[in-house]
Amino acid sequence: PESAQPVTPVTFPPAFLWGAATSAYQIEGAVREDGRTPSIWDTFSHTPGKTAGGETGDIAVDHYHRFRDDVALMAGLGLTAYRFSISWSRVQPTGRGPAIQRGLDFYRNLVDELLAHGIKPAVTLYHWDLPQELEDAGGWPERDTAYRFAEYAQIVGEALGDRVEQWITLNEPWCSAFLGYASGVHAPGRTDPAASLRAAHHLNLAHGLGASALRSVMPARNSVAVSLNSSVVRAVSDDPEDLAARQRIDDLANGVFHGPMLHGAYPQSLLTATQSLTDWSYVQDGDLALINQPLDALGLNYYTPTLVSAAASAPAGPRADGHGASAYSPWPAAEDVAFHQTPGERTEMGWTIDPTGLHDLIMRYTREAPGLPLYITENGAAYDDKPDPDGHVHDPERIAYLHGHLSAVRSAIEDGADVRGYYLWSLMDNFEWSYGYDKRFGAVYVDYTTLERTPKSSALWYGQAARTGALPGVESV
């Protein structure tokens, strides 16, 4: 017999949201339709050598034309929430000026379809697809980009604020700043550590300005949040040098964003560590107060923990920080830090499976932001899924991953955390950025020839959890 099922079911609060997440460039396709203009991801993915196999989001999974079917699929599974992002250049093609109504209409129709099926929408304004014209004007290292974001936030807030309650300004600004401008594995592909720190500040400013723009045009009941890929950073030992390395990476991964957002200041240790790269003089009077707006919720994206030591105690070998193959580090001013592979089983991304990291992350932000409701806005795993000859797609590894991580969420709630919902990454297989289409994160399988969708066994398992508010056993589907 298989291992015994747990005797006590793992149950969740009745109002807990069971969601799935996606982002515009990863699923929509239709990149030249209805007035949309290129974003930095169109440019990047069309630049030879930047993505696996030269793959692009030109068609992606054609969600732009299939959104009604996709909503029906979610409803059929039993999901109660859906997090998606808006393509800025579909709404405001040059990143400035008046909105294109056809662009807004697409999202209005999507939201209405979700609401008609009893699915709660959560809108992410920025999931990495900056209009190319704004990058041509300097991109996130330039202050003006933050003002442009605020204008865009106001446009979308006015258009959808009457029907969308949950708003997320930015998705994972760490990736935008440091994968985009330091290691260059994400668009726009720049490798300038000083510029990446400027980008981080202007992303923070965009969050602050965007949050107040949203609030100025939306009903007060709506919730404004940000999604951080807050890393769980662990040191290989308690030696002071290893703990100092841990602090450095924690500052660069987390403190650089949650410092100003939650506490109104950059960590002093970050300012000191980066002083050879930047004097932070672009942080103007009043910026920190703007960034430090009260939030209504905090979104946490979690995949795997980060393990570091001082460089002196690191074994020689390739970089093991899991952030792609660039020769350039995404960690400015951290040459004296070494990254290690956390022991244990890994997913297809090479990311170690460790649900204790999710528990630790939730408890950390429960302390860091007392009273702030938390959402897990992304969590999931890539596996090399293939349909059986009978057409079924069995993904027991993903079920085990979800079971482990949702159990960790549940235990954090028992430990006093206020976690209100969970969004599985991702609803369906999609364009996994520089990895192209071969990393499948979906609970729903997509055949890239026919674009046909087939729920994997994990989707059925997760749907059952959503419908019952309790985790089924891992062998139950």
Q: How far is the CB of 118 from ligand PNW (least distance, A)?
A: 26
Which segment (161-169, 170-178, 310-318, 361-369) binds ligand PNW by CB under 6 A? 170-178
DSSP summary character for residue 282: T
Torsions phi, psi of 102, nearest 5?
Answer: -60, -35
Q: Is 323 marked as binding a ligand?
A: no
Determine whether 378 is an active site residue: yes
The only residue of 152, 425, 445, 462 in contact with ligand PNW, by rule CB under 6 A: 425
Q: Is 432 marked as binding a ligand?
A: yes
Report CA Rg, the chain.
Answer: 21
d(CA 95, CA 152): 8
Active-site pick, 113, 142, 378, 397: 378
d(CA 470, CA 430): 28
Q: How far is the CB of 239 from ligand PNW (least distance, A)?
A: 25
In order, the DSSP letters of 337-398 are EEEEPPSS-B-TTSPBP-HHHHHHHHHHHHHHSTT--EEEEEE---B-----TTS----HHH
Q: How far is the CB of 167 from ligand PNW (least distance, A)?
A: 17
In order, the DSSP letters of 145-201 are HHHHHHHHHHHHHHHHTTT--EEEEEE-HHIIIIIHHTS-SSTT----HHHHHHHHH
Nearest to 440 by CA among 408, 472, 377, 393: 393
Torsions phi, psi of 39, nearest 5?
Answer: -105, 175
Residue nearest to ligand PNW (CB): 323
Query: What's the Cα-to-Cα distance from 188 to each of 164, 175, 184, 220, rounded to whole Å?
Result: 30, 11, 7, 36
Contact status: 432 vs ligand PNW (CB under 6 A): yes
Q: How far is the CB of 426 from ligand PNW (least distance, A)?
A: 6
d(CA 306, CA 320): 9
Q: Please work out the total of residues on this chain that contact ligand PNW, with binding judged by CB under 6 A.
A: 12
Strand 17-21 vs strand 419-425: parallel, antiparallel, or unpaired? parallel
Q: How far is the CB of 428 from ligand PNW (least distance, A)?
A: 12
Q: Is 433 marked as binding a ligand?
A: yes
Contact status: 434 vs ligand PNW (CB under 6 A): no
Contact status: 378 vs ligand PNW (CB under 6 A): yes
Q: Can you read off the two tokens belonging to residue 158?
A: 């006015």
Contact status: 229 vs ligand PNW (CB under 6 A): yes
Contact status: 171 vs ligand PNW (CB under 6 A): yes
Q: Of 6-65, which residues contact ligand PNW (CB under 6 A)?
A: 23, 26
Active-site pick, 55, 172, 348, 397: 172
Nearest to 11 by CA among 426, 414, 442, 335: 414
Contact status: 172 vs ligand PNW (CB under 6 A): yes
Contact status: 323 vs ligand PNW (CB under 6 A): yes
Determine whether 2 is an active site residue: no
Binding-site residue ranges for substrate: 26, 127, 171, 303, 425, 432-433
Binding site for ligand PNW (CB under 6 A): 23, 26, 171-172, 175, 229, 301, 323, 378, 425, 432, 441
Catalytically annotated residues: 172, 378
Binding-site residues:
26, 127, 171, 303, 425, 432-433
